[in-house]
C-alpha cells in the first residue's frame, strides 16, 4: 500500500524547502537565460520572496500547507476560501512526485468539498503548465485569459459559472 499523503501547516522552518520547491518549478525557464548559476539563484530567491510576500499580503486568511509523505516534505498547497469560491492559490510538487497522481488526489478532495458546499473552484494556471491536462481531466474550464495565465474554473454543474448561479 502506498504511504499516505498528509497536509500540515507551513512553518518558518520550511523556508529552505519552499525555496527549493519554487526553484524546481522554474527549471525549464532558467535553462533559457544566459545567466550564471549565481545570477539564476539570486533571481529565483528574489522572485520566491516576492511571491511569498504577495500571497501572504493578499490572502492572509488562506491555508498554507506543506504536502508530506512519510514525514518528508514533497510539495505545497495554498488554498483560500470565500463565500462562493475555493481558490487554489498554489499547488506544487517536487519533480520526482509530479505526474503520479498526488496532485489529482489533492485536487479531487478539494472538488468534493466544493461540491458539498456548492462552491466553484478557481485556479490561475500558466498556459504552458503540463498540469493543464490534469485540470482539464478534472473538469476545469478556461474562463479568462490574463497574460501568461488562464483562469480555470470548476463547478459541480460542469459548466463555468454554474456554481455561482446555484448559490443565488
Q: Which domain holds residue 100?
A: 5-167
Say if residues 114 and 86 touch (Cβ distance below 8 Å). yes
HSE-CB at 29 with a 13 A cutoff on CA atoms is 13
Pairing label, strands 85-93, 63-69: unpaired
| pLDDT on residue 2 | 79
- Give the CA-trace dihedral at 50, 63, 14, 129, to 10 degrees: -60
**Distance between CA atoms of residues 119 and 113, nearest Å:** 8
Q: What is the CATH number of the domain that holds 17?
A: 3.40.630.30
Look at the chain and report how many structural domains it folds into: 1
**Distance between CA atoms of residues 76 and 21, nearest Å:** 8
Per-residue pLDDT of the chain (168 residues; tens, 9 = 90+): 778 999 999 999 999 999 999 999 999 899 999 999 999 999 999 999 999 999 999 999 999 999 999 999 999 999 999 999 999 999 999 999 999 999 999 999 999 999 999 999 999 999 888 899 999 999 999 999 999 999 999 998 654 333 332 222
Q: Which residues contact 17 (CB under 8 A, 6 or more apart)?
A: 66, 73
**Whole-prediction pTM:** 0.89
| pLDDT on residue 159 | 41
Q: Residue 86: helix, strand or coil by DSSP?
A: strand
| pLDDT on residue 1 | 77
Q: Residue 87: helix, strand or coil by DSSP?
A: strand
| pLDDT on residue 111 | 98
| pLDDT on residue 27 | 92
CA 45, 59, 85: angle at the middle one, nearest 5?
A: 130
**Distance between CA atoms of residues 81 and 89, nearest Å:** 10
Amino acid at each position: 500500500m502506498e504511504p499516505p499523503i498528509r497536509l500540515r501547516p507551513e512553518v518558518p522552518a520550511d523556508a529552505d524547502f519552499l525555496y527549493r520547491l519554487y526553484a524546481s518549478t522554474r527549471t525549464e525557464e532558467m535553462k533559457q537565460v544566459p545567466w550564471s548559476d549565481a545570477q539564476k539563484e539570486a533571481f529565483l530567491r528574489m522572485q520566491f520572496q516576492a511571491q511569498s510576500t504577495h500571497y501572504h499580503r493578499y490572502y492572509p486568511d488562506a491555508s498554507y500547507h506543506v504536502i508530506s509523505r512519510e514525514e518528508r516534505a514533497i510539495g505545497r498547497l495554498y488554498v483560500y476560501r470565500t463565500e462562493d469560491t475555493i481558490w487554489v492559490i498554489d499547488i506544487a510538487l517536487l519533480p520526482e512526485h509530479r505526474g503520479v497522481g498526488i496532485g489529482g488526489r489533492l485536487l479531487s478532495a478539494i472538488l468534493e468539498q466544493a461540491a458539498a458546499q456548492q462552491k466553484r473552484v478557481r485556479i490561475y494556471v500558466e498556459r504552458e503548465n503540463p498540469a493543464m491536462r490534469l485540470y482539464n481531466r478534472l473538469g476545469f474550464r478556461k474562463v479568462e485569459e490574463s497574460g501568461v495565465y488562464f483562469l480555470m474554473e470548476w463547478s459541480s454543474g460542469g459548466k463555468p459559472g454554474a456554481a455561482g448561479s446555484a448559490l443565488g
